[in-house]
Structure formats: structure tokens, C-alpha cells
Amino acid sequence: MRCSPNAWIDRVCRGTARRAPTKGLLVGAAVLVLLAGCARAPVIPSAPLTVTAEELVILLREREIAVQTLKAQFAVEASGAALKAPQRMEAALVYRRPGTIRLQTFARMGFPVFDLVLTDGQYHLLFPMQGKSQKGSVAELDHKDALGAPISLGLLATLGSLGGTFLPTDQVVLREENDQYVLDVMPMSDGGNVARRLWFTRSTLEVARQDLFDVSGALQATMVYLNYRAVGSTAAGPLTWPTRVQAEDGLGRTKLVLTFHDVIPNPELTSQDWGSVEVRGDQ
């Protein structure tokens, strides 16, 4: 049975997520293309495909594997039914492949809002100003208080442009639509139904959008990636990163806009980067 967005995050933390770089809490001024049932733009005939689905998957795998660690700073605008009122905050992300993540958020005055660490399928959420904390399975995070849904969606949005992991059993189909490549990913475990749909800019093969679906075909989340810029180089070549990400869950509970200020690929990480939470593999 296909998983809800929070269960996708659980797979990330266990290193088995099916993300795609169009990936992988919480980058310009375009409207999030999300609402199910909206009329689709007409398909414009164009030149034959110049890349195959298999070649594109190989490229995505190389990009994702080449980013072993990452640090990022970005602003977050959050709204939706899951929140009592729109919120704005600053965030700092630390990531180590395949799925160890620390996400800290701060109010505009610099006060910490929460400090979240995900590792080995578990999360540790700390509220420094309140002196409170929560622990549990990442698969349960989506249902935790008002912050659960925004955090789950934010985690998907922050690393989604990396594209994530493709399983050997995944079937992929590539087509061209409105001068973009569209890649459908269909896990064999889900009976061959589309679990993810990725749009790529034809000239750069950067991920422009990613949709996640449940087993019934209902839209679970959409992420739109805008205004890529160079942030460094990896073993797979130059790395570009979206300056702005717009994300919305399929139920309309949460809408996020992430504006990235700084992204550092493959920095050296130490135990200080993970705070007070013990993370295996750090000295």
C-alpha cells in the first residue's frame, strides 16, 4: 500500500526513499501548480526525445549519490488549515546521506521554534523555549500536533530537487509535455500505479516539479522548484539548487514557500552539527 507523505519521510530516514531531483524542515514568483481537477494545458508537439528514461534515471542517481552531506539556510512561509495563522521563520538544515537530517527553525527575532533530528526511522523533536520534547517513529510525525504536517511537507520540499533513490524494481516511463520531460515512476510493489511524477526542464534536466500519489491515485503532495543557481560542485559535476520551492499537500492542510539563502554541498560534519542528539556515524 502506498504511503502518505510522512511515510515517504520514514523511507528517507531508512535510506530506502523513492525521491527524485525535481527528492531526498520546511526556492521567483510562480504559482504552485497543484490543485487536483484543474484543466491541463494542451500538449504541444515537439521534437523527439533526446534522452531516454533509463538515461535520466542514471543521471538522477548520480546526482543524488554525489551529495553525501549538505548544509542549507532558508526562509519558510507556512500557511494552511493545519496552522492557526500564517507563520514566517528562518531555518537551518543539516543532511547526511541517505537520510539523517537535522532541521532547526527560528522566529524572526532569533528565538528557536523547534529543533528536529531524524535518524534510523525515528525522530526527536525539541521545543527549546518550552523545555519540551517528543520522540517517536517518523511515520507518525505527520499526525503530531499542528506542526506535524508542515514539518513532514517541509522535509520533502527541502531535499526534493535531489530526486532521491530509485529502486531496481521501479518502472519508469518518459514523455514530453509542453516542452518539458515528464517521468512517471511506478513501483512494482504498488501494482504498477504511478507513485511519483517528475517534470524536468528540457535544456538543463533540472527538476521543475514533483507530484506524489497514494495507491488510489489521489494527489498527496506537490513541490515546484524555481530559479536554480549554481551552489558548488560534486563528483557528478556542477550542482545547481532551486532558490525557491513551493509545496502543498493534497488535502490543503499545508502550503509552504521555501526561499534558500545558502546551500553548501558536501561539507565536513561533526557531532556539533547534530546538537545534543546522538547520531550514529559521527565522532
Confidence (pLDDT) at 108: 77
Of 105, 72, 36, give the one whose Cα is nearest residue 244. Answer: 72
Rg (Cα) of the chain, in Å, rounded? 18
Class of domain 5-34+48-262: mainly beta
- Those residues whose C-beta lies under 8 Å from the C-beta of residue 36, and which sit 6 or more positions away, are 218, 219, 250
Confidence (pLDDT) at 98: 86
Confidence (pLDDT) at 27: 31
Which amino acid would we find at residue 226? L
- Angle subtended by helix axes 5-13 and 148-159, to nearest 10: 60
Confidence (pLDDT) at 246: 97
pLDDT, averaged per 10 consecutive residues of the chain (283 residues), comes to 49 43 33 30 48 92 94 93 83 92 89 90 88 84 70 88 82 92 88 89 93 90 96 94 94 90 96 75 47
Confidence (pLDDT) at 9: 52
CB 20 within 8 A of CB 102: no
Confidence (pLDDT) at 84: 77
Of 238, 227, 236, give the one whose Cα is nearest residue 260. Answer: 227
Confidence (pLDDT) at 196: 93
Confidence (pLDDT) at 279: 61
